[in-house]
Structure 1
Amino acid sequence: MTAGVPEAPEETGAPGPVHEVDLVIVGAGPSGLYGAYYAGFRGMSVAVIDSLPEPGGQVAALYPEKDIFDIAGYPAVKGQTLVDALVAQASQADPLYLLGESAVELRHDPESVEVVTDAGTLVRAKALLLTGGIGTFTPRELPVGGEYLGRGLRYFVRRLDELAGQDVVVVGGGDSALDWALALEPIARSLTLVHRRDAFRAHEQSVARLRSSSVRVLTPYEVAGVAGDGRIAEVTVERVRGGDMITLPAQTVVAALGFIADLGPMQKWGLDLRRRHVLVDRSMRTNLDRVFAAGDISDYDGKVRLISVGFGEAAAAVNNLAPLVNPAFGTVPGHSSDAA
């Protein structure tokens, strides 16, 4: 086999258990879970690898109580509710979950792929589908107030009710910042959104909802200081290039400034990359034999990064890799209703 890393001295290259399946999926987020279900629907055995201890990816880890509005059939759905439904759907494929393990080595040839995890597990398969987010995410830090991390400063909100009755300052201008501000508005004592630009990088509907809400919006402002005796008590913001200062009461600052992505070991696998994303063609095929990608990690001209798009990409990938798993499997699947 060719390899993204040197061959290990052992016959299998891994000291732990060995599993053989038709398809191995790296990433147990929404696209990976749907891919697992769809592979089962196409008659494949599946293993799913994810570094997190529970399925659901970033949605479950960072935004379980956030409403998601772009999922077909759901006017709005909480992140964890969506994940629970996807896990139930994927259970029809009886996937092998390898959670809390990171894929660190890849070997591939025209006949098969092998993935080795940091726990020493080896998974041998006919094809690999990459559906991870974009590797490891590190939050972009607030330039001031880092000493209050865990004492009022946070980078995401797992449970909204933890902030009930508090004065909350949300910092940022993207979708996450506006989503947190709007979700916390009904339960916070006061809610202020601070963004260093007048324009937001969020969905137009979210911006319109923000403008009609009771959230105090301060633009173009940035956080100049955070103060408190052991915990955050107030935040000082300064107008960008203007100089005037405003001091706000705050027990919590949510710094929704985005995340820095790191593909980790995948960067050494020989994949064609563009801005930390894996390039694919119209069949979701990468430049490596039997390796496909779908969801946030994939990239192509005209890519739209929505969960709903990731579902379609996962289905497209599974259908296009199906003949590699079994030549009797056609690319055209037929309709699920025909299988009932």
Structure 2
Amino acid sequence: MSEMIETDVAIIGAGPCGLFAVFECGMLKMRCVVVDTLEEIGGQCAALYPEKPIFDIPAHPQIAGAALIERLAEQAAPFSPRFLLNQRVEALAQAEGGFTLTTSLGNQVRAKAVIIAAGAGAFGPNRPPLEGLPGYEASGAVRYMVTKREEFRGKRVVIAGGGDSAVDWALSLKDVAEKVIVVHRRPKFRAAPETAAQLEAAAARGEVEMAIPYQLHALEGDGAKLEAVVLATLKGEEMRVPADHLLAFFGLSMELGPIADWGLGLERSHIAVTPATCETNIPGIHAIGDMATYPGKLKLILQGFSEAAMAAHAIHPRVFPGEALHFEYSTSKGVPAA
């Protein structure tokens, strides 16, 4: 059942920057509602690399994507954010005292300010053109991401692709899977040179099989349970590889979706903002994280965290007009009650 929800700040995107924005707003006693198209919080960290280590988060020499999201959710929890998941914001309209956001499930959010933390926009996997693909996707035999490595223990896994995701997961799954076969159309990989060298070394030791220069050609099975993946060269030579799972890593298809129609200042599918406040060309709407752009912008999670803090402080006068905001360190005031 759809509902109308009143809040101080509406946050579009439940990735790392969106979650930290909840904390920063909460520290200033502003309530938040967070909307995300995915079924769980975490954005690309949760959807694409939950077990992949991240090395540039302050105070964490190494932390997995899923663990980072858990910590951010724990940090935001005292402020009781409301999450509207598995739905996207279809419309945004200016209303008296702020904005009204309408989601794809019919929910409406009335907020005094908006923070867009939608990463690079709505995203989905580039799917290989294989007959019968939807049935194997539904059963989990064909996947475009790995959430739990243990699900592949003792399985025969075919990994297709030549980028970082394909190489990283081949190196990770070789320790749990019965067999890992990497399919790529040419010997040179687009992954980081160090990990590509590690994959080559693993193949030399017999820990990973390489199918080069092959491409995906067909799936064999009963339409749900996968039995084999048929590969083919450009010359038409075919090879049948017994398999339980196919992991296809051909990148993501990015799109802004309805955000593109909101009259925001777009620059190459990104939103131009004022660096000091992260405010867009529409007063009261701010953008942070990968979606935001300005001179000198770095696409780093830690910079997105900084932008969340700046946006929250810039929004405070809208939520509490006429109330002076005295900057205090968290070490002095602690975490205020929600």
Measured against the shorter chain, the TM-score band is: 0.7 to 0.9
Q: 2:163 aligns with which of 143, 151, 174?
A: 174
Contact 2:213 2:233 in 1 (8 A): yes
Distance between the aligned counterparts of 1:66 and 1:171, measured in 2? 18
Instruction: Tell me which residue corresponds to 1:339.
Output: 333
**Displacement after TM superposition at 1:275 (Å):** 3.9
With over 3 angstroms needed to count, the CA separation of the structure-2 counterparts of 1:45 and 1:134, relative to structure 1, is same
Instruction: Tell me which residue corresponds to 2:226.
Output: 232
Instruction: Tell me which residue corresponds to 1:322.
Output: 316
**Displacement after TM superposition at 1:140 (Å):** 0.7
Instruction: Tell me which residue corresponds to 1:107.
Output: 93
Q: Residues 46-85 of structure 1: matches in 2 within 5 Å? A: 46-85=32-71
Range 262-271 or range 144-153, more displaced: 144-153
1:268 matches 2:255 = no
Contact 1:116 1:122 in 2 (8 A): yes
Structure 2 unaligned regions, length at least 5: none
Distance between the aligned counterparts of 2:222 and 2:107, measured in 1? 48
1:305 matches 2:299 = yes
Q: 1:278 aligns with which of 271, 275, 279?
A: 271
Instruction: Tell me which residue corresponds to 2:290.
Output: 296
Residues 87-111 of structure 1, C-alpha deviations (whole Å, 9 max, x = no match):
1100132323333443222123796
Contact 2:47 2:145 in 1 (8 A): no
Q: Secondary structure at the match of 1:233?
A: strand
Range 54-63 or range 284-293, more displaced: 54-63
The percentage of counterpart residues that share the same residue type is: 37
**Displacement after TM superposition at 1:289 (Å):** 1.6
With over 3 angstroms needed to count, the CA separation of the structure-2 counterparts of 1:140 and 1:302, relative to structure 1, is farther
Q: Which amino acid letter does the alignment assign opposite residue 270 of structure 1?
A: G
With over 3 angstroms needed to count, the CA separation of the structure-2 counterparts of 1:99 and 1:215, relative to structure 1, is same
Instruction: Tell me which residue corresponds to 2:174.
Output: 185
Distance between the aligned counterparts of 2:299 and 2:210, measured in 1? 27
TM-score computed with the length of structure 2 as normaliser? 0.81
With over 3 angstroms needed to count, the CA separation of the structure-2 counterparts of 1:316 and 1:109, relative to structure 1, is same
**Displacement after TM superposition at 1:36 (Å):** 0.4
With over 3 angstroms needed to count, the CA separation of the structure-2 counterparts of 1:78 and 1:263, relative to structure 1, is same
With over 3 angstroms needed to count, the CA separation of the structure-2 counterparts of 1:180 and 1:146, relative to structure 1, is farther
1:149 matches 2:143 = no
Instruction: Tell me which residue corresponds to 1:97.
Output: 83
Alpha-carbon RMSD? 3.1
With over 3 angstroms needed to count, the CA separation of the structure-2 counterparts of 1:315 and 1:210, relative to structure 1, is farther
Instruction: Tell me which residue corresponds to 1:4.
Output: none
Contact 1:169 1:193 in 2 (8 A): yes
With over 3 angstroms needed to count, the CA separation of the structure-2 counterparts of 1:208 and 1:322, relative to structure 1, is farther
Instruction: Tell me which residue corresponds to 1:34.
Output: 20
TM-score computed with the length of structure 1 as normaliser? 0.80
Q: Secondary structure at the match of 1:173?
A: coil
Instruction: Tell me which residue corresponds to 1:206.
Output: 195
Contact 2:37 2:122 in 1 (8 A): no
Contact 1:71 1:307 in 2 (8 A): yes
With over 3 angstroms needed to count, the CA separation of the structure-2 counterparts of 1:112 and 1:193, relative to structure 1, is same
**Displacement after TM superposition at 1:217 (Å):** 4.1
With over 3 angstroms needed to count, the CA separation of the structure-2 counterparts of 1:160 and 1:325, relative to structure 1, is same
Distance between the aligned counterparts of 1:81 and 1:144, measured in 2? 34
Range 250-259 or range 138-147, more displaced: 138-147
Q: 2:108 aligns with which of 110, 116, 122?
A: 122
**Displacement after TM superposition at 1:292 (Å):** 0.9
**Displacement after TM superposition at 1:37 (Å):** 0.5
**Displacement after TM superposition at 1:58 (Å):** 3.6
Distance between the aligned counterparts of 1:203 and 1:31, measured in 2? 25
Contact 2:181 2:211 in 1 (8 A): yes
Contact 2:265 2:280 in 1 (8 A): yes
Residues 19-68 of structure 1, C-alpha deviations (whole Å, 9 max, x = no match):
132x2211111111111011112332222222344322343345444444
Distance between the aligned counterparts of 1:275 and 1:199, measured in 2? 29
**Displacement after TM superposition at 1:146 (Å):** 4.2
Distance between the aligned counterparts of 1:99 and 1:150, measured in 2? 20
Contact 1:112 1:127 in 2 (8 A): yes
Structure 1 unaligned regions, length at least 5: 1-14
**Displacement after TM superposition at 1:172 (Å):** 1.4
